[in-house]
Structure 1
Amino acid sequence: MDLGSTIKDIRKQKGIRQNALAELCNISQTYLSQIENNQKEPNISTLKEISAQLHIALPILFFLSLNEADIPQSKREVFQIISPTVKTLIKDLIADE
């Protein structure tokens, strides 16, 4: 799971500066930077606030963060088939906001 990079990508796609998102979430810019660089794992309340400020549902944020290693071997083939399409659709929807 690459949650930090996903948060960073969405933030940049929405044109939000790191310091602005940190302020909206009531966390330090340093902490947000550590989250985005996968150096710190935020608690669920911080993730909820980040997703709320990015206007993206938390489950969608989690889905966008998934990679093949996160999926059980028995379901990887299905994940490989649907994931690219679903992720592209979600990213297109985010871009249209």
Structure 2
Amino acid sequence: MDLGTVIKNNRKQKGQTQEEFARACGITQTYLSQIEGNKKEPNLSTLKVISDELEIPLPVLFFMSIDSEDVPVEKKEQFENIGPKVKALISDFFGV
């Protein structure tokens, strides 16, 4: 799961610096940097604030961060077939 990169890419797409986005989320820039670098896992309430600021529903944020390594072996083929299509649809819909 690469939640940090998904957050970082969407923050940048909104044209916000780490400092601006962190302030809007009520967290420090250092903490946001650690989240975006996948060095810290934020709690659910912080993730909710982040998803609200990004204007992306939390479940969508989670789904966009899933990669094939997160999927059980017996479901990898299915995920690899439909995952990119679903992610593209979500990306188009939410502009992420």
Specify if TM > 0.5. yes
TM-score where L is the length of structure 2: 0.93
**Structure 1 residue 93: deviation in Å?**
2.6
2:28 corresponds to which residue? Answer: 28
Structure 2 counterpart of 1:84, which letter? P
| Identity rate, percent | 56
- Name stretches of at least 5 consecutive residues in structure 1 with no aligned partner: none
Q: Secondary structure at the match of 1:19?
A: helix
> How many angstroms apart in 2 are the aligned matches of 1:90 and 1:66?
13
Mean alpha-carbon deviation: is it higher for 8-17 or for 59-68?
Answer: 8-17
How far the C-alpha of 1:73 sits from its partner, in A, is 1.0
Residue ranges of structure 2 left out of the alignment (5+ in a row):
none
What residue in structure 2 maps to residue 54 of structure 1? 54
Alignment of 1:14-93 (within 5 A): 14-93=14-93
Residue 95 of structure 1 and its aligned partner are, at CA, apart by: 2.7
Instruction: Return the letter of the residue paired with 2:8.
Output: K
How many residues end up aligned between the 2 structures? 96
Q: TM-score, normalised by structure 1?
A: 0.92
CA distance in 1, matches of 2:65, 2:39: 15
Taking the aligned partners of 1:45 and 1:8, their CA distance within structure 2 comes to: 18
Give the conservation status (yes or no) of the 8 Å contact 1:4–1:37. Answer: yes
SS, match of residue 87 in structure 1: helix
